RNA sequence: GGUCCGGUAGCUCAGUGAAUAGAGCAACUGCCUUCUAAGCAGUAGGUCAUUGGUUUGAAUCCAAUCCGGAUCACCA
């Protein structure tokens, strides 16, 4: 039980005894006292001042007296400032909390409760490599999965690969035209980049052919459709759907190259999936929904044979669910896939990590499921995130301003290497250990940078700022961890000394207590992050905790403490801080080094 | 035009009913014979887009306005 939860029943009892008013716990505001005031926890008095008709100051005094009288061993003292009753708890309360929890390296993590969640993230197209936007998606998806696990959910990480369609045909056409049979191996290029290069070549060729046609007097829209390359791509898509063997073979070959490239990247950044879905295998599944929906009267057919749903009553538009030629659209596929996922996992919740440009689409998807009476409709949740922009504005592939994921990771590791060498603290590391450290730090910086912002909001990625490893950054937190580990390496903590804190540990100093109170908040922070589907809650929390530890560290010595009791207390504080940093960063997908 | 999201320090972001609005970066001052200075302490920097309303109390809730973005495809 948290301290705030322990205080509330006392306050409720006091209010009942003093004024005969009944209040529930949710009507009380109890928060950690701001550092600039004296006290540990604060009861906000304003909310019931009206009901009781006494001045806040008067109320505070009476309640404070009553609480101290009720349980002097819990409440040590109080003060009232304006409408705030600041309570100071006994040192033994804090020391007991520390004693019971400091060695628990799963502090804040809840055992499974049987709730099943499917998280879909990454979901790349197979015609080009991953970029910075994908990284935000992947880190978010991974992190929210881990956070939900820590809250007792069983999580299945899934990835839906968009492996079919006109985009991959474009790369295939360009490869046929320009490659002379080149492979990623022969070109010494990572597979996804290799295929992406042909996608670029396709567009270059398209532009060229288009300009020729326009020069010959054709208008723009017509020219786009009439170019030989575009016609070839369209034809290839038809051949693919018809299952033409040589097209399928080429498609498999090129997608294989892309997957090899993706796997390398996923492995490097520490992402992974329990289950892969391929659109080529699921894109037809949604069609049976159309019949079902028509039978139920949820969908209707227009004269030309196309099928729609009317959502005007919900304030939305009419939405197409099947083309007049009987082929499926994006929505049809997503309906089928949702059903497929449910059949595979019988989830309670299905989270889609998808950019906010698809808010409308996801809203419609959920609504259609509800109208069809699907039991899983309620569990559909769109974890919508904003675009990543550059200081110069939006990333545009046409202008070549897209930041490539692999380049980004390499660059961050390179910066980590350079800074590590400048500082020269790990000269005894082997080459292998160094490489691992650079990746740990570089990726830590990148992940933290992308996760520290509220997912809903679009964010600006400033390359200059991202390579700064000071302040509100991943390396700052990693550094704090390494610092603590350095202390603990010097001290062999035996089982007996682990729990024994003698009287010389008290009175608790300000920073000692502040740190304990900060550590105590961790489980509530995981819960909040899970409820809000927002990893930035943890990023901000762990930064503040690390910051507070660093202040404490410079003010008070752990190993050369004033007394044996103080030393034990501070060792336990250090251990618990390290445990929490390790858990919190792991929930963000960030590793922490023993030394750096 | 409809719908949704956003506007807080020079920049990037916290804070969504409570105390004197906070961090980081950038600028400026200090602190390494003492547990890792990727650190710590300090100075300076704000009409919380604007106007009106609700409230004991508003950056936070409501309304209107201004500015920015997304979306409203028989594309995915």
A485: number of CA atoms within 13 Å, CB side? 15
- pLDDT band with cut points at 50, 70 and 90 for residue A60: very high
Average of per-residue pLDDT across A103-118: 94
List of A residues 529-558 with CB within 7 A of strand B: 536-537, 540, 543, 547, 550-551, 553-558
Asked if A160 contacts A273 with a C-beta cutoff of 8 angstroms, the reply is: no
Strand B proximity: list residues 125-184 of A with CB under 7 Å. 125, 162, 165-166
ipTM of the complex: 0.96
Instruction: Report, as an integer, the average pLDDT of A19-40.
Output: 88
> For A128-162, what is each residue's pLDDT tens digit?
999 999 999 999 999 999 999 999 999 999 999 99
| Three-state secondary structure call for residue A154 | strand
Which of A272-281, A325-334, A450-459 has the lowest average pLDDT? A325-334
The model's confidence at residue A440, banded by pLDDT at 50, 70 and 90, is: very high
Mean per-residue pLDDT for A26-53?
87
Alpha-carbon gap, residue A425 to A595, rounded angstroms: 8
* Mean pLDDT across A12-40: 89
Residue A173 has pLDDT above 90, yes or no: yes
| Nearest nucleotide to A558, CA against C1' atoms | B35
Is nucleic acid strand B under 7 Å from A216's C-beta? Answer: no
**How many Cβ atoms are within 10 Å of A370's Cβ, its own excluded?**
14
pLDDT above 90 as % of chain A: 78
Q: Render pLDDT for A517-550 as a digit per residue (tens, 0 to 9).
A: 999 999 999 999 999 999 999 999 999 999 999 9
pLDDT bracket for residue A300 (50, 70, 90): very high
Average pLDDT, chain A: 92
pLDDT digits (tens, 9 = 90+) for A212-268: 988 888 887 788 888 999 999 999 999 999 999 999 999 999 999 999 999 999 999
Asked whether the bond before A507 is cis by omega within 30 degrees of 0, the reply is yes
Instruction: Please enumerate in sequence order all residues whose Cβ is within 8 A of that of A541, keeping only pairs 6 or more positions apart, or say none.
Output: A521, A522, A525, A584
User: How much is the pLDDT for A506?
Assistant: 82
Q: What is the pLDDT of residue A325?
A: 87
For the purposes of burial, counting CB atoms within 10 Å of the CB of A140, is it exposed (0-12), middle (13-18) or buried (19 or more)?
buried
**Any alpha helices (H) in A319-404, and if so which ranges?**
330-345, 359-371
User: Per-residue pLDDT averaged across A459-476, rounded?
Assistant: 94
Q: What CA–CA distance (Å, rounded) separates A440 from A242?
A: 47
pTM of the model: 0.96
Q: Give the nearest nucleotide to A478, CA to C1'.
A: B38
pLDDT of residue A499: 66
Which tokens belong to A117?
Answer: 């969640």
Residue A491's pLDDT is 84
Longest CA–CA span in chain A (Å) reads: 95
Return positions of chain B under 7 A from a protein CB.
2-6, 11-15, 18-20, 23-26, 34-41, 56-57, 69-76
pLDDT band at A199 (very low <50, low <70, confident <90, very high): very high
Chain A residues 235-264, Cβ below 7 A from strand B: none
CA atoms within 13 A on the CB side of A266: 20
Mean pLDDT in residue range A288-295: 90
Confidence of residue A55 (pLDDT cuts 50, 70, 90): confident
Strand B and chain A: which residues 301-360 have CB closer than 7 Å?
302, 304, 306, 315, 317, 320, 323-325, 329-330, 333, 356-360
What is the tens place of the pLDDT at every residue in A478-512? 999 999 999 999 987 655 556 677 777 889 999 99
> What's residue A474's pLDDT?
97
Give the pLDDT confidence of A360-378 residue by residue, as tens digits.
Answer: 999 999 999 999 999 999 9
Q: What pLDDT sits at residue A454?
A: 95
Q: Cα–Cα distance between A142 and A588 in angstroms, integer?
A: 8
Binned at pLDDT 50, 70 and 90, residue A459 comes out as: very high
In this structure, are strands A307-310 and A318-322 parallel, antiparallel, or unpaired? antiparallel
- What lies within 8 Å, CB to CB, of A6 at 6+ separation is A74
**A38/B18 CA-to-C1' distance in Å:** 17
The pLDDT of residue A495 is 56
Q: If pLDDT is split at 50, 70 and 90, which confidence band does A74 have?
A: very high
The reported pLDDT for the residue numbered A317 is 86
Q: How many CB atoms lie within 10 A of CB A531?
A: 11
Mean pLDDT of A284-303: 90
């Amino acid at each position: 039980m948290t301290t705030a939860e322990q205080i509330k029943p006392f306050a409720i009892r006091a209010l009942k005894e003093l004024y005969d008013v009944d209040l529930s716990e949710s009507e009380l505001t109890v928060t950690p006292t701001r550092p600039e005031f004296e006290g540990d926890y604060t009861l906000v008095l304003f909310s019931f001042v009206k009901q009781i008709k006494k001045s806040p100051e008067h109320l505070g005094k009476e309640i404070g007296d009553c609480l101290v009288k009720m349980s002097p061993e819990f409440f040590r003292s109080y003060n009232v400032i304006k409408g705030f009753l600041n309570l100071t708890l006994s040192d033994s309360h804090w020391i007991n909390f520390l004693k019971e929890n400091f060695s628990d390296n799963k502090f804040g993590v809840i055992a499974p409760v049987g709730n099943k969640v499917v998280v879909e993230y990454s979901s790349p197209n197979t015609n080009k490599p991953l970029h910075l936007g994908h990284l935000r998606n992947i880190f978010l998806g991974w992190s929210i999965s881990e956070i939900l696990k820590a809250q007792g959910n069983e999580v299945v990480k899934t990835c839906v690969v968009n492996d079919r369609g006109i985009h991959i045909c474009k790369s295939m056409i360009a490869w046929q035209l320009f490659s002379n049979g080149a492979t990623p191996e022969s070109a010494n290029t990572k597979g996804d980049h290799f295929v992406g290069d042909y996608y670029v070549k396709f567009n270059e060729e398209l532009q060229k052919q288009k300009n020729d046609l326009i020069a010959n007097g054709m208008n723009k829209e017509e020219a786009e459709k009439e170019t030989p390359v575009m016609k070839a791509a369209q034809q290839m898509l038809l051949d693919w759907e018809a299952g033409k063997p040589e097209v399928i073979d080429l498609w498999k070959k090129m997608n294989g190259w892309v997957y090899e490239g993706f796997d390398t990247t996923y492995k490097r950044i520490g992402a992974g999936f329990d289950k892969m879905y391929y659109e080529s295998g699921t894109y037809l599944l949604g069609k049976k929904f159309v019949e079902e929906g028509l039978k139920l009267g949820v969908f209707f057919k227009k004269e030309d044979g196309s099928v729609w749903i009317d959502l005007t009553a919900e304030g939305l538009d009419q939405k197409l669910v099947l083309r007049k030629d009987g082929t499926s659209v994006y929505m049809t596929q997503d309906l089928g896939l949702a059903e497929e996922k449910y059949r595979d996992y019988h989830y309670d919740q299905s989270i889609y990590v998808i950019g906010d440009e698809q808010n409308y689409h996801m809203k419609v998807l959920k609504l259609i499921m509800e109208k069809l009476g699907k039991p899983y409709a309620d569990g559909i949740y769109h974890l919508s995130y904003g675009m990543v922009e550059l200081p110069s504005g939006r990333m545009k592939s046409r202008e070549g301003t897209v930041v490539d994921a692999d380049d980004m990771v390499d660059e961050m590791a390179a910066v980590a290497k350079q800074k590590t060498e400048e500082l020269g603290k790990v000269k005894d590391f082997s080459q292998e250990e160094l490489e691992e450290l650079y990746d740990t730090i570089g990726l830590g910086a990148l992940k933290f940078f992308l996760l520290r912002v509220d997912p809903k909001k679009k964010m600006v990625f400033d390359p200059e700022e991202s390579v700064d490893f000071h302040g509100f950054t991943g390396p700052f937190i990693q550094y704090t961890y390494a610092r603590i580990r350095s202390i603990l390496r010097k001290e062999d903590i035996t089982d007996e000394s682990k729990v024994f804190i003698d009287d010389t540990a008290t009175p608790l100093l300000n920073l000692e207590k502040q740190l304990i109170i900060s550590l105590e908040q961790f489980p509530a922070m995981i819960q909040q992050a899970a409820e809000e589907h927002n990893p930035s809650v943890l990023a901000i929390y762990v930064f503040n905790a690390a910051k507070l530890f660093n202040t404490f560290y410079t003010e008070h010595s752990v190993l050369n403490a004033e007394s044996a009791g103080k030393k034990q207390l501070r060792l336990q504080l250090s251990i618990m801080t390290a445990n929490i940093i390790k858990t919190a960063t792991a929930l963000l997908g960030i590793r922490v080094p023993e030394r750096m």
